[in-house]
Amino acid sequence: MFSETILLSLREIRRNLMRSSLTILGIVIGVAAVITMVTLGRGATAQVASDITKLGTNLLQVRPGQDRHGPGGTHSTGDMFKAKDAEAIAQEIFGLSAVAPIASQTIQSIYGNENWSTTVTGSTNAYLQVSNWLIESGRQFMESELRAGKAVCILGTTVRDKLFGGQNPIGATIRLGKLSCNVIGVLNSKGQSSFGTDQDDFVLIPLRMLQRRIAGNSDVSRILVSAQDGVSTKKVEQDIQQLMRQRRHILPGKDDDFHVRDMQELVSTMTGTTRVLTGLLGAVAAVSLLVGGIGIMNIMLVSVTERTREIGIRLAIGALERDVLMQFLVEAVVLSSFGGVIGIVLGISAAAVGAIVLAVPFIFDPGIIVIAFVFSAAVGVVFGYFPARQAGQMDPIEALRYE
Amino acid sequence: MKTTTSTQTGKHYLIELKGVTKVYGEGPAAMHALQGIDLRIGQGEFVAVMGPSGSGKSTCMNILGCLDTPSSGVHLFEGIDVGKLSRDERALLRRHYLGFVFQGFNLLNRTSALENVELPLIYRGTPAEDRRVRALEALEAVGLTGWETHTPGELSGGQQQRVAIARAIVTNPKVLLADEPTGNLDSARSREIMKVLAAFNSERGITIAMVTHDADIAVYAKRIIRFFDGSIDSEEKKPGTA
């Protein structure tokens, strides 16, 4: 009996193909919009998360000065760190895999006729480890080079491209400001960060070279610390805080003149933001589903009126109220489910294209498809019920007399 | 469905109306369509109901067809008080015991003759195979073999009414109710239709109650009841019939 009802509704839909297609347009657009929004939103979230992860996992950053994101106006710039501070962290705190002291300056880099203004970062090999950099060609610094502050450098791919074009830069000598510097390696490319900055636009040199020959001091502007896997970054954060307070002679009750920030927090903040945005966009798209449902109700009401005589015949020859109700309800559900399926296909296609255009990963989620389908069918039930009940409750005598 | 008949007492009536009235509207505007009808129809009868427009014959047919209930009085079908049944219970009564033929044919448009005839069997839950066989038999009985796949729009008026008759008898109903079955047909087609109906009455013993205003049509019935102003005016039995 139920399969009869479905077949019947399919035939009825086919009979009014044009009207049926127009009826489901609202559902199609609604479902497609929800799927596109949610799929692209998830892609963007994943993109942000992976971008931040590229900065380094289990990463903590120690900077002088109070946390600028905190409340209150007292913004004090504490004294710069020294290389010894980084060494102390590495020696005294448990559970770290690498500690990289960093100082940097913006400098003109020159090779032959090419010149390029870039960031010169002074650090150690630990920098490569904490920030997940790999050497694409050439080598890391040698221990002796780091200790002596030798004029050697490792290039980011942007600098390599700007200065050397397609040539191999290993062994060449470039100028950083007034200094000559021997290129010993090139890093792999990380591309743009989710903040829109080019992560490959920098030159890495030994910390001591930067301090002595470029900056002319022994300052370290920040220290990057990466914790070992499984070690709580919260615990490490507290340990570093305690150690630095001690080393900087901060009396109990006084505020820190430095801050430690956990990158993991940044990841969850950033992905949280995109998730909220995704939810909002999805909600807006869901409103169009509602509008689509009202469209279905309209057409079903028209259809019930138009088929009054048919309803009269069915009731007269022995259809129960619920038989007729089911017939129209099933028709509404079949219609809206059709709309759902078409919307799903359209939405996924649009999301796939959108993912390419926006350069975010395309994340195919079967869950959202099931939800979209069930939801569109539910729209049919909700908005089909009222017209279907009207059909079922008709008086057969009146209905048969209807012209 | 429980049926209590009065066979034991020697009097067996399939349908009994006792003091049936039907009032439409209320107060001074009330329209008394039926004013106390007493009517008995036995198994196997062929009754024609005649009368001018507004005499209450259609209202009476609606009550006999369990489509409507009396305002007062009793309508018994096989001893069951139809007036006390719910809407759905009356629908089940129609589904299992009654067949309808209407003046305007009332077939489903754009649906083949075969599917139209199968329709009542669908509501009875008859399996598809069985349904098809019985619908083909019914169409054969009304002489429409070869027209099964045609839709009402492709059939003549007479053929459409035959499809409607096939639809009414496909369930082997106890009673066939026909409301002006020839009202939309010319006299030659009308005679054909009446022969078909008379044959079902005499060969299959299907009880027929028919409304008509055409005396030439009424002659096919074994009993003629005349309505006037909501009451039964006269009754006439053809000789040689029960």
Q: Which amino acid is at B164?
A: A
Q: Chain A partners of B62 at a C-beta cutoff of 8 Å?
A: 397
Cα(B78)–Cα(B69) distance, integer angstroms: 16
Quick check: B125 and A1 CB within 8 A?
Answer: yes
Residues 6+ apart with CB under 8 A from A391: A304, A307, A311, A324, A325, A327, A328
Q: Is the pLDDT of residue A322 over 80?
A: yes
Annotation: CATH topology of B13-237 = Rossmann fold (3.40.50)
- The pLDDT assigned to A314 comes to 94
Pick from A1, A310, A400: CB nearest B108:
A310
Quick check: A396 and B87 CB within 8 A?
Answer: no
Is residue A96 within 8 A of residue A227, CB to CB? The reply is yes
- Whether the CB of A310 is below 8 Å from some CB of chain B: the reply is yes
Cα(A143)–Cα(A150) distance, integer angstroms: 10
Closest by CA to B177, choosing from B84, B22, B47, B13, is B47
Pick from B62, B94, B125: CB nearest A317:
B94
Phi-psi sector, B195: left (phi>0), alpha (psi -120 to 50), beta: alpha
- Give the residue extent of every domain in chain B: 13-237
Q: What is the DSSP letter of B100?
A: E
Rounded to an integer, the average pLDDT of A165-184 is 90
Is residue B42 within 8 A of residue B50, CB to CB? The reply is no
Residues 6+ apart with CB under 8 A from A272: none
Q: Chain B partners of A400 at a C-beta cutoff of 8 Å?
A: 102, 106
Chain B residue closest to A4 (CA)? B122
Closest by CA to A183, choosing from A203, A166, A211, A165, is A203
**Helices assigned H by DSSP within A93-226:** 125-130, 143-148, 157-164, 207-209
Rounded to an integer, the average pLDDT of A287-307 is 89
Residue of A252 and B87 predicted with greater confidence: B87
pLDDT along chain B (242 residues), means of 10: 45 86 89 92 93 89 93 93 94 94 89 94 92 95 93 93 94 93 89 92 93 90 93 82 48
Instruction: State pLDDT tens for residues A16-60.
Output: 889 889 889 989 999 999 899 889 988 888 888 787 776 666 888
Alpha-carbon gap: B238 to the closest alpha carbon of chain A (Å): 31
Quick check: B94 and A321 CB within 8 A?
Answer: no
Q: Chain A partners of B95 at a C-beta cutoff of 8 Å?
A: 317-319
- The pLDDT assigned to A71 comes to 47
Residue of A197 and B147 predicted with greater confidence: B147
Give the predicted TM-score (pTM) of the model.
0.72
The single residue listed with the structure tokens 């790999």 is A134
Q: Chain B partners of A318 at a C-beta cutoff of 8 Å?
A: 91-92, 94-96, 98, 120, 123-124
**Within 13 Å and on the Cβ side, how many CA atoms surround B77?**
22
Q: Chain A partners of B121 at a C-beta cutoff of 8 Å?
A: none
Would you say the C-alpha torsion B117, B118, B123, B125 has a positive or negative sign?
Answer: positive
Chain A residue closest to B118 (CA)? A317
- The pLDDT assigned to A102 comes to 93
Instruction: State pLDDT tens for residues A212-249.
Output: 988 888 899 999 998 887 788 888 888 888 898 888 88
What is the token pair recorded at B29? Answer: 């505007």
Q: Where are the beta strands (DSSP E) in A237-287?
A: 258-262
Among B58, B94, B151, B172, which would you mutate to test the A interface (most chain A Cβ atoms within 10 Å of its Cβ)?
B94
Pick from A4, A15, A317: CB nearest B100:
A317
Instruction: State pLDDT tens for residues A103-137.
Output: 999 999 999 888 899 999 999 999 998 888 889 99
Residues 6+ apart with CB under 8 A from A332: A296, A297, A300, A380, A381, A383, A384, A385, A387, A388
- The pLDDT assigned to B9 comes to 45
Quick check: B87 and A321 CB within 8 A?
Answer: yes
Q: Is the pLDDT of residue A363 over 90?
A: no
Would you say the C-alpha torsion B217, B223, B224, B229 has a positive or negative sign?
Answer: negative
Angle at B42 between CA B37 and CA B44, to 5 degrees: 135
